[in-house]
Structure 1
Amino acid sequence: MQRLRFTFLLSLAAAMLSLIPACTSSNLEVEKPEQFALKDMLRHYADDLIIPSFKELQTNVNTLQQAAETLAAQPTLANLSALQTTWTKTHLAFQSVNAYNFGPAGKSGSRKNLVQEIGTFPTDIREMEITIAKGLPVPNDENYGARGMLAIEYLIFDVNGDNQRILDGLITASREVYLRKQIANVKTQVDSVVTGWATYRDTFINSDGTAVGSSISELYNGLVQSFEDLKNRKVDLPLDGSAGQQGPQPTLVEAYYSGKSLEFIRAHFTALEDIWRGRVGQQDGLGFDNYLQTVRGGPALVSSTDTQFAAIRQALAGLGETSSLTKEIQNNRPKVEKLQTELQNNTRYLKSDMSSVLGLTLTVQ
């Protein structure tokens, strides 16, 4: 009798144990990021977001160069206006690659990363004017404010919209030649990145771990750095001033001379949200939000981040559609402060929470 009872209990225990692996397996599918198709996500980013965005920027830079050559041959107000329009399209395209500041776009030798090389502001107009007067080449030292897209902006836009003044200046040979040298420098930088991605693509896709230096780590840190640049450099700096300064400095906005700072801020934020969602156009793809759905604590973080992205969009919508950040700081400061607050509220989700949940090391400040 006892033998039968022992056999029964042993069978019951075995049956109960057989249920445990099934439950554990189910839990692991939700909690372990290894179960996510990370390589497919990296392939989507490379083929559908990163490489096409750099190629679009390259196409726009080529058009910008052609527009400058047309203006040099025929210095008319119409051709200047066409150059300004092309510059705007090019700088909008630059916003879409702002976060991909690694790999071919990262630091290489004496060259800094692409954002520093062609996207630094405010512009060092004193250094530029000295360089023009002396007929010197575009500087390649650490004075990044004297070259790049915002240096080109200074050469072709008047802050008061006086295109005739700009045209009169560009008729001067030294200034017109310097403009084309600036554009050629940007082209060299962008062409190098596009060429680099042709071979770096496979490396990026196949580096599917999560350690420092892995592709997901580079992409994540690029996203965070780009968001911090948007928050700190494009909004906080002109609103509150730099260290040691008292009060706002609305002239320190990006694209001060063209008055298009808000247009670029909106494009920059949209690009960041595209990365978050893996979005191409209006179509979401495999992105960080999908990756987070597979790990413990991820779904709640996705919900919080989505809510905060919506709050940032609403704050941006409260600013003038065709206004500049300079004017909004001067005339509508509370609404700019609202944007500043909503951007700051998102820092926690993108930096501390996201790095913790995904097990990624934050390498940016």
Structure 2
Amino acid sequence: MIDFLVIGGGIAGLSAGARLSAHGRVTVLEAEDAIGYHASGRSAALFEQSYGPPSVVALNKASAAYLHDENGGYLTPRGILLVGRKDQQAAFEADAAALNMRAISAADAIDRVPILDSDKLAYAAVSQSTFDIDTDRLMQDFVRTIRGNGGAVLTKARVTSIRKDKHWIVEAGDVYDARKLVNAAGPWVDEVAALAGIKPIGITPKRRSMARLPAPGGHDIRGWPMLFGVGEAWYAKPDAGKLLVSPSEAEPVPPQDAYADDLVLAEGLARYEEMVIEPVTRVEANWAGLRSFAPDGTLVLGPDPADPSFIWSAGQGGYGFQTSPAASQLVADLATGMTPDLDTETTAALSPERLRR
């Protein structure tokens, strides 16, 4: 008998499985050929403690020590640079305030990122509290914890049937019996809930596209900050000597293996090009991922009110990696009847119960 059967092998499922593996036997089922295949494998991989609604910021703060220190730490400094045109002053100031950023001169911004267009750039602000996350190592360490505690992480295990007798019986090629079921299936969490006879929570998957460009102008971009356009109309992030550029779209789509929309990608690249002096001459690769949102835009963590043996770890949106240490600990605490370290207001704001009222 499995104590905790986790459906979904992305960051939500792996982190929850790792925390729960200290309390019982854990098995994680991933439908694809590899862990982190969908949204988790297509993340911008950034930690910014001030990014997100209040409940997410609380999770970010509670996750910071783990991400900085556990297993030698998973963070390296990146910083962010917000840039705006003259006609964007009000929106620029709102964005800078929301992220606790410090205003700098246009000349200073161009010193940091020399491809910025001095004719277009009117406003700039920086934050040094932003870090890259080593997402692959973080996931692999969660897998290592699960297996080290006697659990299993299985790929090519697509769930086709779920029923409840005295315990959960799940078919995914083989048949698995479990006392508790953790739904961490990303864009598919509502489909999993429906299979289990649990009322869905109204998750909306939203597509975000990405293009990989050669280093602009042959620059060494490894030390550049991440660039944001005002209103997050686009962003650009150095990655392994290349530049990742996204139109930052949030297009609702059905659960799927997402791919970039050519028109949306072109529009986003045009918004990026407007602020720089180096044109986009070649796109080396493009892809898309799905970010999953609950109706109120924050995570859904904990037992379902109708059946406490069905546990949600859902609605990560774009916050999955940066919140994973604290979110997974909250899931484990609630699943095992322990008192969470998070305050009651935050715990309530993340509870599935809020969506049942």
TM-score > 0.5, shorter chain as reference = no
Q: Greater helix percent: which structure? A: 1
Q: If you compute each CA radius of gyration, which structure gives the higher value, 1 or 2?
A: 1
TM-score, scaled relative to structure 1:
0.25
| Structure number with higher relative contact order (C-alpha < 8 Å, ≥ 6 residues apart) | 2
TM-score, scaled relative to structure 2:
0.25
